[in-house]
Amino acid sequence: MSADLAPLPTTVRERQFLVVWQRPDRTFVPVGQLDVRRDERDVAHSSFRYLPEAAAEPDFQPFLAFPDVDRVYDRDGALFPFFANRVMSPRRPDFVQYVTALGLTYNEADPLEILARSGGERATDTIHVVPFPERDGNVEWRHFLVSGVRHQPGAQERIARLAEGDQLHLRAEPDNEKNQQAMLLDVERGQPVGWLPDYLLPEFHAHLDAGHTPAVSVVKANGPEVPWHLRLLCRLEMTLA
C-alpha cells in the first residue's frame, strides 16, 4: 500500500475542510467540502460534495476525481487520493523537516493535521484545502501560512527575531493592485513579513463587518532551510462579539 493512501492514524480528530478554487481573475471561491469522521469502531469515513457555488461558476470544471457535481462521494479507511496526494509522504527524506516547519512533531503529523496546516497547496493547480475554524468558547481560531514572504524586503530577518506567541499586527492595504481587501502582517507598523492569505480574506472581512476582534500570533518561525511558503506559520483568532 502506498504511504499516501495509508489508513488515517487513530489520533486524527473529526475535521471539516472547504475546498477553495482560484478563479482566472485570482479571486477565490469555495467549491466543495471534505468531511472526515470516525465511527464507534474507530474507522475513518471521508465524504466529499460540491457546494452550490461550483455549479454557478462558469469557468469551473469538476475535478477528474469527482466528476459529478450532484453526487456525494464516500470513502472508508483512508483519505481520497485527490487529498492524500496533497500530503507529503513520510517516506520523503525531508518529511521531518517539513512537518517541523508546520509546528508538528513526527507523532502529531497525521494526514489531516498536515492538510489543515499546509492547505494542501500544489504548484500544479489553484486549489486550497482550508479547514473549518476551531472554536474555544467565544474564540474561533485557525492556523495559516503567511503569504508573500519572499516579496517583502527584509522579511526573513524579521522572521528570524520572532518566537512562538509573538503578536503580529494586521494592516489594511486598500491600494493593493491585486486585491483591495489585502491585509499585511507587520512585526511593527511598516515592518511587514507578508500577507494574510487571499483565500481567507472574505471570511476575515465578514468577521470584521460583524464586529469581531482579530488577533494574529506566531506558531512557528522558520529559517531559509525551508521553502519560502513555509517560512512563517501563524494562528488567527477571532473573538466573537
pLDDT on residue 8 = 44
Q: Which residues contact 222 (CB under 8 A, 6 or more apart)?
A: 101, 159, 230, 231, 232, 233
pLDDT of residue 73: 98
pLDDT tens-digit series, residues 140-196: 999 999 999 999 999 999 999 999 999 999 999 999 988 999 999 999 989 999 999
Pairing state of beta strands 28-38 and 192-195?
unpaired
Please count the helices (runs of H) and the strands (runs of E) in the chain: 6, 12
Report for 33-42, 78-87, 166-175: range of highest mean pLDDT? 166-175
Cell matching residue 66: 469527482
Contacts of 72 (CB under 8 A, 6+ apart): 47, 48, 49
Place 40 in a pLDDT band, splitting at 50, 70 and 90. Answer: confident
Position 13 scores a pLDDT of 62
How many Å is the Cα radius of gyration of the chain?
A: 18
For the chain, list the domains and their CATH numbers: 3-131 (no CATH), 134-239 (3.30.70.2330)
Give 124 or 53, the one with higher predicted confidence: 53
Q: What is the mean pLDDT of residues 12-28?
A: 88
- The cell for 87 is 500530503
Distances in Å between the alpha carbon of 187 and those of 128, 148, 229?
26, 15, 18
- Calculate what percentage of the chain has a pLDDT beyond 70: 95
User: Could you report the per-residue pLDDT of 105-152, keeping only the tens digit for each?
Assistant: 988 888 889 999 999 988 778 899 999 999 999 999 999 999 999 999
- DSSP 8-class letter at 228: G
Distance CA 112, CA 107 (A): 13
